[in-house]
Structure 1
């Protein structure tokens, strides 16, 4: 197992085969997927799992598997991915690095997502990344709060091109952050 970095309570590592069942269960949980158009099938989760595993192996950057230091239990993922425009998914701010997170429900409301995202920003800065974006549905207040705690700046709202118009998740909000020397100080706040 390769550990790329850590925070006070969390380890950021590559994905292990033993993570797959918990990852699949997390993605099939309606509460976890509340702000997504659907839950993910086991097969879709498995495809995502191997894609994330490959991206980290190639770039030492991606959506990292996250474990608790104290117990080594897998709690979800937090990381950064490079978004490039495609024929079906092209937004004006692409290409860009996007920070994101998804945690198993048992680990919500304990500050792990914010702590982990701060760690990811610090790691990204060390890798030479100058700016990051994050977006979510307008109604996803928990993720928006994390973006605000990261001192990300609200840019604008937009309609997600892959979600049908008038769907409650169609309106998205975009946040942005330049990474600078002060980012190091933000890690421990």
Structure 2
């Protein structure tokens, strides 16, 4: 695996080192030892699969707070997504900054999303499938989210939103969130 550092603190693209022959190729997609060597959380507690019927479907922006913070390794296995990560770690040098990357079945990249970073994506084609390895269990009580269209972050999504859940539409804007909670307590 090749670990490509992103501009967001501790976020990486994981590219495959393919061993090719006449049959095709094989490649390692995860190694706890290599992840730990790069300072990443190498625990996988849960794996999730999402399938999206329509191009323009938006999922996010989700994260979990203490004591249930989780890191994610996200890979698009069919189709293509525009993936976005927002740093919600108050002690991080990239706090409130975001990155974006296209993950596709063709490039086979994975994106390592550090704990306490909001994550979301938009599908770029119909019938898109995404696999996520997560370092902890889903804990609804500790789940938080941000609006996909929050002006604080100025994310430019590539397509009009065709599908989104009511839950994702209901997340409050970050400035409203700040009035309710001191982000240092996260």
Pick the structure with more helix per residue: 1
Does the pair score TM above 0.5?
Answer: no
Query: Which of structures 1 and 2 has the larger relative contact order (alpha carbons within 8 angstroms, sep 6+)?
Result: 2
Q: Which has the higher strand share?
A: 2
TM-score scaled by structure 2?
Answer: 0.32
